[in-house]
Each structure stands twice: as structure tokens, then as C-alpha cells.
Structure 1
Amino acid sequence: MSNTDAAPTEVDCGPSAFGAFDGVLHPREVPLGGPRAIRVRRTLPQRERSLIGAWCFADHYGPHDLRGGAGMDVPPHPHTGLQTVSWLFEGLIEHRDSAGVHAMVRPGELNLMTAGAGICHSEVSLSSSPILHGVQLWVALPDSDRDTGRDFAHHVPRPRSRGGLTTRVFLGEFEGESSPVHTFTPLLGAQLDLEPGTSVALGVDAGFEHGVLVDHGNIDACGAELTVADLGFQGTGHDTLHLTARGDGPARVLLLGGAPFDEELLMWWNFVGRNHDEIVAYREQWQAHGDRFGAVAGYRGELTRLPAPPLPHAALKPRPRPGV
């Protein structure tokens, strides 16, 4: 998925330390695509927090009824220095990338694309599935691996239920389940479905930072009240995470975790780099149709590739981090 902001702000994703359940990030709405774009709820990055582990970007969208408006149609666009995690609750999205991968994103199935040194891809929702509802997440790659080759992985996690909780672990290990998909830093990604009134104490890795991203329902997470697209986070040093589904209906969340990411990096548009000069070079190579990103075959939209927005007049600089 692309960050289609016309004037994207550079974001410092430097290391951070937090303890206890530190609070809630509320989403902001942004358009995805052209003039008739769908709206998505973006929770990461924000000034208050730019990283949870290596998770550096989180968009939540839908449910959108595609019979009454436009769907998702994101032309070929570039990425560097990250992995994209596509996860659907409803709908069907066609993925094409410059590694030659043509795949479908389906509910409950992980599609993970590794950009490495550079990739481009397109994403188009299909009208054969009229409701579109899901999340798009990015994971920053560490300096040692950010120039790795393009790659793509697919995994269908099995659901596991106990009491009023059902889990699907798509990355990492949790509740006795593990994903075979490779990540470059220790990560956790899982869908948790809670029946009405369910209260659970989840055993988590005390060395991880954790985020709870709400898809639907009302959740109490360690005493913090969360609703749709809110992201609550808990710092390292805790081996338990308490969740309760409030109200009369069920709730569904994504649990995101990871070891603290101890490298400072710079995000602008769809690029993850380390400094201003790198971002400028990535943009120039994309605009010049350079070999770094390759080309997507088979995309049939009106716009053959998404142009990069203009750079700001001043040099891109990391934002000051809270408490620094």
C-alpha cells in the first residue's frame, strides 16, 4: 500500500523506551488513491510514537461497500527498506510486483512483501468481493538487511480457540502457535477475536513492545479504553497483557509486537532510509524509471505508475523524539 499524501512529512523513527501501558494513539483519516479514493485510518506513524518494535506504519480501512463507490486502486509505486504486511478481514485484493509476483490477498491469509533495496507494486480490490475491510502494515528493516533482495511470502495461519478467544498468528510466536514466515527482527503479529464479555490475561514476551490495534468492538487493554482503529501500546518489562471485550458485541484486534528497534531511520512517502541524501536519491531513481525498483507487469489502471510528490524546500530531518 502506498502513502499517497501529496505533501508527506518526514518522520523520525528513532529508538524509544516506554514502560507500563503508556496510552492510546487515535487515527487520522487520509485518502488512498485518486480523487475518488477510499479513506483509511492511519495510526502509525505519529508524533507521539513512530515505532512499536519494527512496526512503523499502520492503516486500517473499511468495511467499505464497493457497490456504492470506488474501491482500492493503487498504481505501481515504490518502496525501500521495509516489508509490507497485508491482512484482510473481508474482500479480495490483487497484488502485482516487480519481482514478478502476481497474488491475491484474501481474508485470514498473510501476504508479506520484502522491498529490500527497492521494489514497486500495485494493489487493486476486486469487485467480485463487494466489501473491502483490512489493514496494511509496514515493518522497518535493520541496516544490516535493508538492501536485501525482493521477496514475497504467503501464509495461512490456523485459528486456535480457548474460552472466548480465537487467535491467528501470522508472524512470530504466540499462545503456542508460530508462523514460518521470516522476519529480519523479532516480531509478533496476530489477530485476536474475543466473544462478548471475554476477559483474558495474555502471556507476552517481556522483551517486546506491544500494540493493540482495534478492528471492531470496544476493548479495555490494561485499563485503557480503545475503539475502532485506536492503537494502544505497552512497553517492555511486562509479561502479561490484559484484554476485555466491553459491551454486548464481539471485538477483534491485531496484536503487534517486537523487540525495540534501536536504529534511527527516516521515513518519507514510501521510502524508509537513514538520511536526506538517501531519500533524494530514491525519489530521483523512481522518477527516472531507474533499475532500482523494476516494473510491474499486468497492471491495467489509467495511471501506469504513481509519481512521487515534490520534496520540501528544506532538507529532510528527523523529528525530535518525545523526551529527547
Structure 2
Amino acid sequence: MRRPFPKLPYAAFLLATLLAAAAAVAATPQERAAAVAATLAQARELGADKRCPDDFRAAEAANDVAVGCVAGGGDCDGTLAAAELAAARALGRIRFIEDLRSARHDWQEAAERYDRLVGRVATVAGLTLDPALTGEAAGRRVLADLDREMTALRVRADSLEAVNRGYGAWVEGGRAAQDSTIAGLRRELTAARHALWETQLRAGVAEADLSAAASRETLTQDREAAVRSLGQLFTPQEGQVWLTPEGDVRVRLTGLKFASGNAWLNPKYDPLLDKAAEAIRRFPDLVPEVEGHTDDSGPRAANQKLSLARARAVAAALAKRLDAPAPSLAATGMGPDSPVAPNTTEDGKARNRRIELVLKATRGGG
């Protein structure tokens, strides 16, 4: 199964780490230094010292300065913060690299599916495919072989027609004696024409299948590139963008907050809503829908109603920016049913209270 564009992009991971670092300000300098060392150890274990050496060396240097400051007993808040940021950057960078390396397997899987399709076409057509050929080269070879087979069948049909005409002239005076031979030739001619028709049909189907497979791969690549470009529109504090296995584009508006129990949209979020509207404009072939989510505090029915009210408020604001009627943007209240974090902590509950913009691909092939 294809993987989506990494669900926790590098910038988003840095944001999560920085938030954790902010929460750790109350820790002692020794505890903060130990946490930095643990982060560097984790980055080294993932191979950061080899795959992103510049970031890793910078993090080690910042850590050395912080350790020296803590040992000296001075005011180390600034040096510790710099070390925490550098370590988080190194760990985030190697995780992002690992995500990209994993994503390359998706293209390998797509290429293998394409090769299997070409192999099935060759089998149906009774052709022998060179095992050394893959991808577009294999597809072109199959189409070329089918074309040669059709040409040979046309030549055979023309030859049989010529023989048939010659027999007709030759047996003018004694047709009865040659009826059996002529009938046999006509049957062979009919069979050759039928074989030619079947080969043409198989060739047409094969070419259509290969073209459709190539179009799907091109569409997937183009959409992933568009999603990466859209992700650069949002800061880590504003939102996260990724592509789902089904081809949907999701925009989690992490920077959009509501007062407790309220669905009123604060005007200070207008710039973020402008960016969300731009996301819809960039994917005109996808169907937009706004999802509201809550944590599990309080009655489920009340949470579902509140999440729907918030989703409708955002949908109306986006419709206004798009000069579209409000009902044209669907709004769904998910309540507490789709958490992204455990509801056992305040941080988890805060992450679960969110608005997500879903740009849905039509399941017929978009």
C-alpha cells in the first residue's frame, strides 16, 4: 500500500519538540542537559552523524557549550535552549530523511505493479517477454510485438485471399471436385481474420491499460509535488499538510483555536483562513470538506454538536473567501471519535481539539 506524504513533516516535528522544550523550562539545568544528551543519542542511533553530519556536529557543539555552562554553575538558560533546538533539529532532520528513504519504496512498488501488468498483457497475447526489460521499455516491446503479429496475420490473410481467387478461376469448369478444398481455405481465411481481430483487440486493451497506468503514476507524482508546495504555505504553528493513501489532501489547522465550549471564530485567524482557502484553490479537482474534532471531556452528544458548529463556522468563512455559497463546503462534526493523541493528558486533549480541511479525491479515479 502506498504511504502518504510523511504525516509528521520535519517542520512539524521541530514544532512539537520546541513545545516540549518550552514545557521543560521548569526542569533543572542538569535535567535539561541530560534530555539534550538523550536526544543526540537517539539521533546518532538513527544515523544522523553520517546522513546529516552538519546538523549533528552543530548539535554536538551546542551541547558541549551547554554542558560546560552547567558544570560552571552559571546562568545557562540561553545555552541550554540553543542546545535543545540544535538537538531537536538533528533528530528531526534524520527522521525526515528516513521518511524520504521509505517513500522511495513506494515508487519501487508502483514500478513493480507496472511490470506485472505488462507481463499479464504479454501472457494473454501469447508473447515471450524479455526478462531483462522493465518499465516503459517492456511496455513498448509488448506493443511492438503485437504490431508485428498483426502485420503477419494481415499478410497471411491477403495470401489466403489470393489463393482463394486463384482457385476460383482454376476450377471454373470443375468446381464440384474442388468444393472441399475451397471450403477449407475459406474456413482458414475466416479463422485468420478472427485471429487478426482478436490480436487487434488485445493490442488496444493493452495499450489502454499501459496508458492508464502511466497516467495514474503521473497524477500521483504531480499531486505529491503539489502537496509539498502547499506545505510550505503554512508555518509549523499554523498547520500540517499531507497526502493520504486514498489520494486525499489533508490540512490540519493546528493554529486555529476556539474558546472552550464556543464556536465563534476570532478575526485574528483571518490570515490562516486565507491560506486554507488558497489550499482549496490549488486543488480544484478535489472536493473540500471541513471536519471538526473535540476531546472526550463531557457528553459525547454535546461534543459532536460543538464540533459540527465549529466546522460549519470555518466552512462558512472559507466559502466567503471563495465567493461560493456556504452550503457548497461540507461540514462534519466528528466529536471525540477520531483522536490523534491520548485524552489522558492536557497536551493530548489540546491536540485532539482541532479543525481539519479535507480535500477529497473522487473515488472514480481522481
Normalising by the smaller structure, the TM-score range is under 0.3
Which structure's residues are more often helix, by fraction? 2
The two structures have a TM-score, normalised by structure 2, of 0.24
Q: Which has the higher strand share?
A: 1
Give TM-score, length-normalised by structure 1.
Answer: 0.26
Higher RCO (CA 8 Å, separation ≥ 6 residues): 1
Structure with larger Rg? 2
